[in-house]
Amino acid sequence: MADITPTLLRRRLGAALKTLRVRAGLNLAEGAKLLGVSSPTLSKVENGRQRTDPERFIAAYGVANAARIAEIREIARLANSSRHQRLYVQYKDVISDRFADFLEMEQIATRIDLYAALLIPGVLQTVDYASAAIGSISVLRTTRETRASTELRMKRQEVLTSPSLALRCVLDEACLRRELGGLSVLRRQLEHLLTISQRPNIELQVIPFKAGMHTGLDGAYTVFHFDVGSPVVAVEPLTTSHYLEEDDQVARYEVAFDRLRTQALDPEASRDFIARIAKETQ
């Protein structure tokens, strides 16, 4: 079987299966022999580079802990979820390996906490705003790549219709005032924010300039929460994303996000604030 991209969930599944082997007192060669595979094959599975059926491991390693079995089965179910895989296959030409992680997490998260410092987040963008943003930032993209990236961004937004997802977003005022594609594009984008913020699973808040210093001045980030496993933080510089999974690192961002929500206008006041800026663009 060909190697696959070791996305976050595949790595987590592989790590969980490796833990089962170690707890069973087996080295790599012994585990491979028990499973009837080669050591290199087992190594690929444990590193998230090859798909597998976890039931074989549960049976071979004699796992009896019901909670542990349930957790591994759920990780495997999410890792094999068809939606993010379909998007990856359809848009693989414009999805880097690092962004494949982001896409996967966005599709299977049960809560997303998002802070944006400069631009409206992709998952909340209109098609015209997205096209302008992608065209401005990705100066080396071809027209075809820009079109495909914009289309992918629109398809990603389908997650917002899921009742199982809660999105909490804090926007710096700079996001609301930066023109991309002209005033009419910005106005429609702000109007879209007003509409989408009415959804019961979306909480949108704004930090105005007059709030002064706040805990988001280091830049944008996203905290993904899941039914299974620990949260993951995606920190987003210009060209890629960095992922933080250590508990102490994630905890710092969770505390910072809670402070941002406290410093920001409440959702109703935020809508009024956005509406006033939208009127200024007329």
Length of the chain: 282
Average pLDDT over residues 41-52: 88
Check: pTM over 0.85? Answer yes or no: no
Does the 8-80 domain belong in CATH 1.10.260.40? yes
Give the rounded percent of residues in the chain with a pLDDT score beyond 70.
93
Domain ranges of the chain: 8-80, 83-280
Q: What Cα–Cα distance (Å) separates residue 23 from each residue in 13, 19, 140, 177, 202?
A: 15, 6, 49, 55, 42
Q: Output the pLDDT for position 127.
A: 96
* Predicted confidence (pLDDT) per residue in 159-204, tens digit: 999 888 999 999 999 999 999 889 999 999 999 999 999 999 999 9
Considering only residues 87 and 66, tell me which one the structure prediction assigns the higher pLDDT.
Answer: 66
> Are β-strands 232-235 and 242-244 bridged in parallel, bridged antiparallel, or unpaired?
antiparallel
List the Cα angle 159/182/123 in 5-degree steps: 10
- Is residue 214 within 8 A of residue 159, CB to CB? The reply is no
Average predicted confidence (pLDDT) for the chain: 87
Burial class from Cβ neighbours inside 10 Å (0-12, 13-18, 19+) for residue 63 reads: middle
Q: CB count, 10 Å around CB of 164?
A: 11
* Predicted confidence (pLDDT) per residue in 106-143, tens digit: 888 999 999 999 999 999 999 999 999 888 765 556 78
Q: Output the pLDDT for position 31.
A: 92
Q: Output the pLDDT for position 95.
A: 80
Q: CB count, 10 Å around CB of 42?
A: 25
Q: Output the pLDDT for position 84.
A: 65
Average pLDDT over residues 201-230: 88
Domain 83-280 class in CATH: alpha beta
Considering only residues 235 and 140, tell me which one the structure prediction assigns the higher pLDDT.
Answer: 235
Q: How far apart are the first and last CA of the chain?
A: 58
